[in-house]
Amino acid sequence: MDKEKQLELILDLVARKKYVELKEILKEMNEVDLADILNEIDAQTAVLLFRMLPKDLAVDVFAHLTSDRQREIIKVITDKELKYIVEELYFDDMIDLLEEMPANIVNKILLQSNKEERDLINQFLKYPPDSAGSIMTIEYVDLKKNMTVREALQHIKETGLNKETVYTCYVTDENRKLEGIISLRKLVTSELDQKIEDIMERDVIYVNTHDDQETVANIFRKYGFLALPVVDNENRLTGIITVDDIMDVMEQEATEDFQKMAAMAPSDEAYLESNVFELAKHRIFWLLILMVSATISGRIINGAEEVLTAMIVLNSFIPMLMDTAGNSGSQSSTLVIRGLATGEIEMKDFAKVLWKEFRISIIVGVVLSFINFLRLYYLEKIDFNISLLVSLTLIVVIVISKLLGGILPIIAKKFKIDPAIMAGPLITTIADAISLTIYFYFARLILHI
């Protein structure tokens, strides 16, 4: 049954007060699908359905609800129900919950936690918001190197049920320093009397608690990990980051880059849930900057008034040249920004990018200019010198725009600026000014104006 039919059936059963039948249906549903439904319906019905769920399912569903819906449920459930949810939520999910809640709700949640949990929560909340420490979980399986495989498997059986993942186990010493890792597959296929230190992997890839989330995402993308250990400055294992958490980060980073590339201030709020004034505020600043910077093009045109007056036909080619310049730069910048985001392009590749974009721009520029010359001279019967002027300008403009689009994101990265800033709108503004300058220079040179 698809989600629409499920929702229709559930609302029908609620309307007819068929609660016994409804409970049977709810407990068989997937927690993610159920959370989607609870997020869509009105708050009163959502709370009613949530309280019908079995305890374990309720916790899983709660973790997938929006922060607004979580807040509404916390306000109406009893302290006993909240205590169970707090105890059963994975630690990283609880941290995410606390970061989204207002102070009064946070206090209500903390009251249901013991002192040890409160100390851990406070420690996690002190990590920078975009750091590895802010998204890690402490629910991992740790082993000692002097354990046998038999002892390790027994330890996993005893503790693994409450851990977020058991597929990778972490070997630490008595001071919690990370010494190695071992997969569950390796454990179950090894002899029971073998020592962990003889079969563990010592070459461990890990991140620091203060490493940026984007760095963590690149490591997951590169190595295809299911989980990644997080250590402090003394190499002590502090927690792990699981693939489901880093997928959320990847989505956030991609959304942020898209917003910057469209000349908007980044926002975490969903589009339909955002206030129109907030959305306007995020857009006005960059539009204002681009609007003011676009006046440069106007000044260039005003400065070439005698050229345009002498040859009025030159006006008609300005939009084509500016558009082609902006589009050429945007093509290059988009590919380079993506390469920087995925780790495919690094700072040391500056010269390689420059050389590659130069060769691409020569090919593209020559082909477009040749076609443009044929169109102007033979089809539109434009004067030879003007056709030559526009076509030569087109080659130079494409070359310069593509080089700018290729190198500006790398320069931004070098100066610790988000490369996504150097995308469509900004590149277009710069390319417009350059294309006009070149156009009028060639006009004076070729037409002797």
pLDDT digit string (tens) for the chain, length 449 residues: 677 888 888 999 989 989 899 999 998 899 999 999 999 899 889 989 999 999 889 999 998 898 888 988 988 888 888 888 888 888 778 777 777 777 677 777 777 777 777 667 767 777 888 889 888 888 899 999 999 999 999 999 998 887 888 999 999 998 889 999 999 999 999 999 999 999 999 999 999 999 988 889 889 888 888 899 999 988 999 899 998 888 878 777 766 665 655 555 555 555 566 677 776 776 677 667 667 766 777 788 788 777 777 678 888 999 999 989 988 988 898 888 888 877 788 888 999 999 999 999 999 999 999 999 999 999 999 999 999 999 999 999 999 999 998 998 898 888 877 777 666 677 888 888 889 999 999 999 888 76
What pLDDT, on the 0 to 100 scale, is given for residue 164?
Answer: 82
Structure tokens at 47: 């709370």
Residues 285 and 400 in one domain: yes
Residues 32 and 66 in one domain: yes
In a domain, 412, yes or no: yes
What pLDDT, on the 0 to 100 scale, is given for residue 423?
Answer: 64
Element (H, E) at 208: strand 207-208
Q: In whole angstroms, how large is the CA radius of gyration of the chain?
A: 30
Residues 275 and 400 in one domain: yes
What pLDDT, on the 0 to 100 scale, is given for residue 92?
Answer: 76
Residues 212 and 150 in one domain: yes
Q: Which residues pair with 241 in a beta bridge?
A: 228
Edge-to-edge, what's the strand order for the sheet holding 168-172? 142-143, 168-172, 178-183
In a domain, 396, yes or no: yes
Structure tokens at 434: 């350059």
Q: Which of 64, 97, 126 is the last residue of a domain?
A: 126
In a domain, 295, yes or no: yes
In contact, 93 and 100? CB cutoff 8 Å:
no
Q: Which residues pair with 177 in a beta bridge?
A: 236
What pLDDT, on the 0 to 100 scale, is given for residue 264?
Answer: 53
Q: What is the pTM of this model?
A: 0.58
Residues 198 and 308 in one domain: no
In a domain, 276, yes or no: yes
Helices (H), 196-275: 196-199, 213-223, 243-261
Residues 436 and 309 in one domain: yes
In a domain, 58, yes or no: yes
CB proximity list for 95: less than 8 A, separation 6 or greater: 121, 124, 125, 134
What pLDDT, on the 0 to 100 scale, is given for residue 85?
Answer: 86
Backbone CA torsion sign across 128, 131, 135, 137:
negative
CB proximity list for 251: less than 8 A, separation 6 or greater: none
- Domain of 155? 142-242
What pLDDT, on the 0 to 100 scale, is given for residue 169?
Answer: 94
Residues 278 and 354 in one domain: yes
Q: Which of 126, 153, 180 is the last residue of a domain?
A: 126
Tell me the C-alpha distance between 233 and 236, whole Å: 7
CATH of the domain at 420: 1.10.357.20
Tell me the C-alpha distance between 62 and 56, whole Å: 10
In contact, 311 and 447? CB cutoff 8 Å:
yes
Backbone CA torsion sign across 173, 175, 179, 180:
positive
CA distances (Å), origin 11, targets 28, 29, 61? 16, 15, 18
Q: Which of 102, 126, 150 is the last residue of a domain?
A: 126
Residues 106 and 195 in one domain: no
In a domain, 261, yes or no: no
What pLDDT, on the 0 to 100 scale, is given for residue 116?
Answer: 74
Neighbours of 354 (CB within 10 A): 14
In contact, 71 and 101? CB cutoff 8 Å:
yes
Domains held by the chain: number: 3
Instruction: Determine whether 120 is exposed, middle or buried from the number of CB atoms within 10 Å of its CB (0-12, 13-18, 19+).
Output: middle
In a domain, 249, yes or no: no
Residues 213 and 171 in one domain: yes
Residues 299 and 343 in one domain: yes
CA distances (Å), origin 374, targets 150, 325, 370? 80, 20, 6
Residues 289 and 329 in one domain: yes
CATH of the domain at 202: 3.10.580.10
Tell me the C-alpha distance between 141 and 275, whole Å: 43
In a domain, 255, yes or no: no
CA distances (Å), origin 440, targets 54, 60, 315? 74, 65, 11
Residues 416 and 315 in one domain: yes
CA distances (Å), origin 326, targets 79, 166, 366, 416? 59, 51, 17, 24
CATH of the domain at 16: 1.25.60.10
Neighbours of 17 (CB within 10 A): 8
What pLDDT, on the 0 to 100 scale, is given for residue 157?
Answer: 93
Instruction: Determine whether 146 is exposed, middle or buried from the number of CB atoms within 10 Å of its CB (0-12, 13-18, 19+).
Output: exposed
In contact, 141 and 154? CB cutoff 8 Å:
no
CB proximity list for 317: less than 8 A, separation 6 or greater: 390, 439
CB proximity list for 136: less than 8 A, separation 6 or greater: 92, 124, 209, 230, 238, 239, 240, 241, 245
What pLDDT, on the 0 to 100 scale, is given for residue 295?
Answer: 76
